[in-house]
Amino acid sequence: MKRLSATHAVVGGGVASCLGTSSGNGGASATASSSTLAAAQRHRFYKPLVNQGINLWRSRMGRLHKGWDTWEYNHSVVPDPRPYPEPAVNNYYGRTRLWNPIAGKIGLVNRKAEEWGWPHQRPPPTGLRRSPEYFPFFFARYFPNVEVRLVLDSVLNNETTRPVFHVPQDMSKQELVNYLRNIYGIDNVVRISVRNMRGRRFKNEVGEIKSLPDYKVAVVELDAPVSIDVKQIKGTEDTPDNKPQAQIS
């Protein structure tokens, strides 16, 4: 059944009024009914379900707006929406979730807890805390927590003048030279070449994608070859003589 537009309703009302002038009381009643037809705006019989089901998610994602009453008037044009307040809590866990990069106070709280045992102990006086005699400051300065890891595959069972080390990112070449000289007694370093490795990703045993902490690969060139020989005491290997049954029995 074809719906009448507003112009058709007006034209129909005019025709009915013309017919009503030629007739008696019946014509007057026809005129009244047609004038109400012309004056009334023809709404839809229902409001679409904007508050149920998937439309809740669409309105949260911004594709359906609280200020769009498109069922009230022209369907083809989308009006300027009234401002719709964002939720106060970021409870959206999809692909487009925004991560807040602003640091909270939990870092300071953890530092207080590990430095002077907050909240169980009182803080040391401020003058002591800001002095180089303060123990965490002293320890971090003179005994820095650096991990210089030797890549065993570079020196294992083969002579090389270029052992490879994994060093922290903020460690310079001179610091590495001092570290190798003071800690390991390696003083025949010729030169060091460094590569920066950051953003490396790996999969753990479950298959979850993790990211490695950033580090630098330092290739230390020595003036004399070094090697590490692995000597295994007989009987200590996992499967002696490549016979797994020997371990089972």
Where in the sequence is the domain holding 196, given as residue range(s)? 149-222
Alpha-helical segments (H) within 44-105: 54-60
Residue 177 lies inside a defined structural domain of this protein: yes
How many beta carbons lie within 10 A of that of residue 20, not counting itself? 19
CATH code for the domain of 179: 3.30.70.330
Residue 91 lies inside a defined structural domain of this protein: no
Whether residues 155 and 213 fall in one domain: yes
Distance of alpha carbon 93 from its chain centroid, rounded? Answer: 10
Whether residues 193 and 133 fall in one domain: no
Whether residues 128 and 155 fall in one domain: no
Residue 31 lies inside a defined structural domain of this protein: yes
Handedness of CA 71, 76, 79, 82 (dihedral sign): positive
* Per-residue pLDDT, 41: 54
pLDDT tens per residue across span 175-212 = 999 999 998 899 999 999 999 999 999 999 998 999 99
Residue 182 lies inside a defined structural domain of this protein: yes
Q: Are 167 and 148 in contact (CB under 8 A)?
A: yes
Residue 98 lies inside a defined structural domain of this protein: no
Residue 26 phi/psi, 5-degree rounding, is: -60, -35
- Decide the pairing of beta strands 189-197 and 164-167: unpaired
* Residue type at 131 in one-letter notation: S
pTM assigned to the model: 0.45
The DSSP code for 240 is G
Tokens of 175: 């610091």
Whether residues 186 and 126 fall in one domain: no
Residue 248 lies inside a defined structural domain of this protein: no
Nearest to 165 by CA among 200, 197, 210: 197
Q: Residue 43: pLDDT above 80? A: no
Q: Residue 231: pLDDT above 70? A: yes
Q: State the Cα–Cα distance between residues 170 and 149, nearest whole angstrom.
A: 15
Output the average pLDDT for the chain. Answer: 80
Q: Residue 44: pLDDT above 70? A: no
Whether residues 209 and 181 fall in one domain: yes
* Per-residue pLDDT, 127: 92
Residue 51 lies inside a defined structural domain of this protein: no
Nearest to 136 by CA among 124, 121, 147: 124
If one counts the domains in the chain, the total is 3
Nearest to 163 by CA among 222, 229, 214: 222
Residue 239 lies inside a defined structural domain of this protein: no
Give the CA dihedral 201, 203, 204, 209, nearest 10 degrees: 70
Average pLDDT over residues 64-74: 79
